[in-house]
Structure 1
Amino acid sequence: MSLKVESQTAQSFREKGDELKSNGQFALAIEQYEKALNLDPKLVPVLRELGEIHKNLGQLDEAISCYEKAISCKPQNAGLYARLGDILKKRGHLEEAISHYLKAIQTDPSFLLPYRRLKYARIKPSQFDEAIACYRHAIENHPQASLNSYIRLGDLLTKQGHLEEAIDCYKNASYQRNLASHPDFVQKYWNSKQLGQPNFIIIGVGKCGTTALSNYLDKHPKVLPSVEKELHFFNRDFAYGKKWYKSHFPPIPKKRSEFVTGEATPWYFNTLGVEERIFKLFPNIKLILILRNPIDRALSQYNMHIEQGRNLHSFEEEMRAEMKELKDILSSSDPKLDRTKLEKGCLGRGIYIYFLEKWMSLFPQEQLLILKSENLKNEPALTMMNVFEFLGLSDHPTLEYKKHNSRSYSPMSNDLRETLSNFFKPYNQKLEDYTNTEFNWK
């Protein structure tokens, strides 16, 4: 009588583990994966899946061990370094995480994930040399994949105070990005000695659809991309100067006014003082503002904070506490009162009229286009036609409108929604009166 050898192979244990994992039976899946590894300790896909299960269960040391074993078996897999970097970051080992992200780039300079992670990582000066060497090596040896290395290298050189060298990096990044998206423009009109500047800025609001709006704009053949969507110059990096900022944009010849470029930093609108900085540098610029029901916007921002690992109370507890703080702030005329909750809170950012009045005190109405997030979602073609017209562009009806950052969250109680609706009602009414627009938010 012959035994079924197949039932004892590492592959069969792996398949059983995959099935159990997909059904959420993690403990049983771990047993099957470990049986597979007993037969084949170098089975990298199993080590990876086992590492993911341990990570999701909060067993970070076990997850780290799995990925370290996987890397020892397959040291040229950039994805393994990046995933291990994520776990190390979650474990609180930030410097080790950064080293693994850099190792991922060294292994595959075209792999985008580690660049995204490093964009927001707080790299300590002690690791600057390691990171700079990594980016320079990628640029020198893989010029076809140098875009993101130029951007991140520019960021580090900026932090070191080497602004001229950083500016050159951003100009090179702008060239690479536009060469990929608009090769004809680059071939005919690019002048590396010139600096660009924005024709428009999407100023906000965060969690209202700025990513979708920016991506739809980038699909228009006459819209040239900036180095990155969010530049944060006017709310964070203003000290680096106008030349530094302009290096992030493609140089458009004066005679080629059919082309436009811009950026989208969604937190500009709610950061007090940004409106004055933009007006001082670019008084004639066109501004685009997209607004969403402030209740839904608050829920989205709260969940973003949870995903970022912030230690928060329940949504209802946070909102009721913030409402109390905002009522005190908005009812007081004391200039010394801390108003950062208006700028940074989940609810404060939704009191749109408070901020809009400050922008409109500087910019004429014809330079500001206000959009409803609900319209962009439900009628994207019509909404974008209005945006293109505002920017002096022809319509682009062949554009495909895919959803961006669309997520569903646990609904709030009817009681809380009614409370929040009553809280926002007077501010929404002022907004409607001020803009002569019905938003119909409930």
Structure 2
Amino acid sequence: MNLSTPTPTNIEQQTQTLINHYQKATLIKPDSATLYQDIGNLYRSLLDFEQAIVYYLKAIELKPDLFSVYHPLNFLLQFVSWSSEENKNQILTQGIHLLKQNIIHQPNFPFAHVVLGRLYAQQGELEKAKDCYQKASFKQINRSYPDLIQHWNSSTQRQPNFLVIGLFKCGTTSFYSYLIQHPQILPAVTKEIRYFSTDTINDLDYYLSHFPAISHQNYLTGEATPNYFMFPNVAQQIKKWFPNIKLILLLRNPIDRAISGFYMANKFSNQYLNKSLNDIHHLDINLVKKRIADIKEIGELSLYQKIELINQWLDYLRNIWRQNSDINHEIAVHIDHSLYIDYLPEWFRVFPKEQLLILKSEDLFTDPATTMKQAYHFLGLPDHPLTEYRNANRNKYPPISPSLYQQLADFFRPYNQELEDYLHRKFHWD
């Protein structure tokens, strides 16, 4: 196997060199918000989340309507609580001041309220955070469903009726966008709240503030966080709060999901890596299996939730990132996430089968109208065909070699068979 990639040391050195070049460019163009966004992206690729946040905030300061930076900023803010107290306070104080000003100048951009809510939440100001989320939701509903505002009741907390629990690269973004176009489904303030997987705040009211306070019972609401499916103990947490909630899971051909996940991860990684599977004809399956075993033994996901172990977790991620010159290490995590049978039984141990709808991603891709009709029926809603089913993620990746595809097919076959036996259902992924 010949994979042309820089050594781990060179990867970091070249990234830092690029950061230095961009920083020099800001001296020439100090008002260029996109330069600061690019620097933030590079720091994010190095897992230096503090610096990434600092540069994202600077980009927003220069260009408040640079909307593309708000979502990555909101995602990274969940890590700020793991910074030193001094750095944390500085980031949060600066961010809150900046976002409060931006909201004044961007009244038609509800997501700014969401980011401000995240900043307040990390500061421990939960009441202010809840107020921000409700303001964002109010603006969303007022814009899309103005007639419903008469049913808005700030003293009412609306519980979610459904959750889309997975999975990455299985079409959840498109699926959720179709769902919320139904006239009886109201969106959460953001598609992925990530409360049960990566949030460190344990407050039911805080979670519920992400949903519209509409008292009218003819409407449903919910969110779609595709990593809920893989996190340990999430099923029990959801059951504790919402015992009657309906869950939707999309499953895709595990080979296609793993390859798509590989390319998505590299898209957001260092551009010097620029990895491709074009020239890979064979994986060292023993190394892949060892890496998967390491993931499960180390408890990568559970570490993510334990604030006292965050530094070790980040160090672990950085070490894995440095090892990514070995394609077997990098693709293993994406293969692991495609071993659906390893995660599914936990959900059925907690929830009755009547509360979990499993959809085949390929059906959504090829016949979205029929698939959505099935989802609406599951939720107790009448069908609502759309005039257009637009693909929310149109990324295309080069095909892998036939030999690699066959090797992966052979690897996944027993797991797929076990899944089909468990569900008494055929997926026809061979």
TM-score higher than 0.5 here? Answer: yes
1:179-218 → structure 2 map (5 Å cutoff) = 179-186=142-149, 188-218=150-180
Q: Which moved more, 1:415-424 or 1:314-323?
A: 314-323
Deviations 1:332-374 (A, max 9, x none): xxxx944549999211111112211110111111111111110
In the alignment, is residue 149 of structure 1 matched against residue 118 of structure 2? Answer: no
TM-score (norm 2): 0.78
1:69-84 → structure 2 map (5 Å cutoff) = 69-71=28-30, 75=31, 80-84=32-36
Gap change, CA 1:399 and 1:220, over 3 Å in 2: farther
The answer as to whether partners of 1:219 and 1:399 remain within 8 angstroms in 2 is no
Q: Give the secondary-structure state (helix, strand or coil) at the position aligned to 1:145.
A: coil
The answer as to whether partners of 1:312 and 1:318 remain within 8 angstroms in 2 is no
Alpha-carbon distance in structure 1 between the residues aligned to 2:274 and 2:289: 17
Gap change, CA 1:167 and 1:356, over 3 Å in 2: same
Alpha-carbon distance in structure 1 between the residues aligned to 2:294 and 2:57: 45
Q: Which moved more, 1:88-97 or 1:416-425?
A: 88-97
Deviations 1:142-191 (A, max 9, x none): 362352222111111111111122111111111112222221112x2001
Letter of the 2:28 counterpart: K
Gap change, CA 1:96 and 1:369, over 3 Å in 2: closer
The count of residues paired between Structure 1 and Structure 2 equals 371
**Aligned-residue offset at 1:110:** 3.9
The answer as to whether partners of 1:432 and 1:438 remain within 8 angstroms in 2 is yes
1:110-129 → structure 2 map (5 Å cutoff) = 110-121=65-76, 124-125=87-88, 126-129=90-93
Gap change, CA 1:431 and 1:154, over 3 Å in 2: same
Gap change, CA 1:88 and 1:234, over 3 Å in 2: closer
Quick one: which of 139, 143, 156 aligns to 1:176? 139
Which residue does the alignment assign to 1:167?
Answer: 130
In the alignment, is residue 325 of structure 1 matched against residue 290 of structure 2? Answer: yes
1:87-102 → structure 2 map (5 Å cutoff) = 87=39, 89-90=41-42, 98-99=53-54, 101-102=56-57
Which residue does the alignment assign to 2:197?
Answer: 235
Which protein, 1 or 2, shows the higher relative CO under an 8 Å CA cutoff with sep ≥ 6?
2
Q: Give the secondary-structure state (helix, strand or coil) at the position aligned to 2:157.
A: coil
The answer as to whether partners of 1:197 and 1:251 remain within 8 angstroms in 2 is no
Q: Give the secondary-structure state (helix, strand or coil) at the position aligned to 1:227.
A: coil
Q: Give the secondary-structure state (helix, strand or coil) at the position aligned to 1:397.
A: coil
Alpha-carbon distance in structure 2 between the residues aligned to 1:189 and 1:328: 51
**Aligned-residue offset at 1:257:** 2.7
Q: Give the secondary-structure state (helix, strand or coil) at the position aligned to 1:369.
A: strand
Alpha-carbon distance in structure 1 between the residues aligned to 2:19 and 2:54: 18
Letter of the 2:96 counterpart: I
Gap change, CA 1:110 and 1:313, over 3 Å in 2: closer
Alpha-carbon distance in structure 1 between the residues aligned to 2:174 and 2:218: 23
Alpha-carbon distance in structure 2 between the residues aligned to 1:341 and 1:85: 28
Gap change, CA 1:96 and 1:268, over 3 Å in 2: closer
Q: Give the secondary-structure state (helix, strand or coil) at the position aligned to 1:345.
A: helix
Which residue does the alignment assign to 2:358?
Answer: 370
Alpha-carbon distance in structure 2 between the residues aligned to 1:421 and 1:218: 35
CA RMSD of aligned residues (A): 3.1
Alpha-carbon distance in structure 1 between the residues aligned to 2:217 and 2:287: 46
Which residue does the alignment assign to 2:400?
Answer: 412
Which residue does the alignment assign to 1:394?
Answer: 382
Q: Give the secondary-structure state (helix, strand or coil) at the position aligned to 2:343.
A: helix
Gap change, CA 1:83 and 1:63, over 3 Å in 2: closer
Q: Which runs of 4+ in 1 moved over 4 A?
A: 58-68, 91-100, 310-319, 326-330, 339-344
Which residue does the alignment assign to 2:38?
Answer: 86
Alpha-carbon distance in structure 2 between the residues aligned to 1:204 and 1:437: 19
Which residue does the alignment assign to 2:254?
Answer: 294
Alpha-carbon distance in structure 2 between the residues aligned to 1:174 and 1:146: 11
In the alignment, is residue 265 of structure 1 matched against residue 265 of structure 2? Answer: no
In the alignment, is residue 379 of structure 1 matched against residue 367 of structure 2? Answer: yes
1:218-367 → structure 2 map (5 Å cutoff) = 218-237=180-199, 239-253=201-215, 256-309=216-269, 320=285, 323-325=288-290, 337-338=297-298, 340=300, 345-367=333-355
Gap change, CA 1:381 and 1:413, over 3 Å in 2: same
Sequence identity, in percent?
38
Alpha-carbon distance in structure 2 between the residues aligned to 1:142 and 1:112: 13
The answer as to whether partners of 1:258 and 1:393 remain within 8 angstroms in 2 is no
Gap change, CA 1:366 and 1:112, over 3 Å in 2: same
**Aligned-residue offset at 1:239:** 3.5
Gap change, CA 1:178 and 1:296, over 3 Å in 2: same
The answer as to whether partners of 2:170 and 2:250 remain within 8 angstroms in 1 is yes
**Aligned-residue offset at 1:63:** 4.8
Which residue does the alignment assign to 1:44?
Answer: none
Which residue does the alignment assign to 1:105?
Answer: 60
**Aligned-residue offset at 1:68:** 4.6
Q: Give the secondary-structure state (helix, strand or coil) at the position aligned to 1:262.
A: strand
Alpha-carbon distance in structure 1 between the residues aligned to 2:107 and 2:195: 28
Alpha-carbon distance in structure 2 between the residues aligned to 1:106 and 1:327: 42
Alpha-carbon distance in structure 2 between the residues aligned to 1:366 and 1:70: 58
- Over alpha carbons, which structure has the higher Rg? 1
TM-score (norm 1): 0.76
**Aligned-residue offset at 1:218:** 1.6
The answer as to whether partners of 2:246 and 2:356 remain within 8 angstroms in 1 is yes
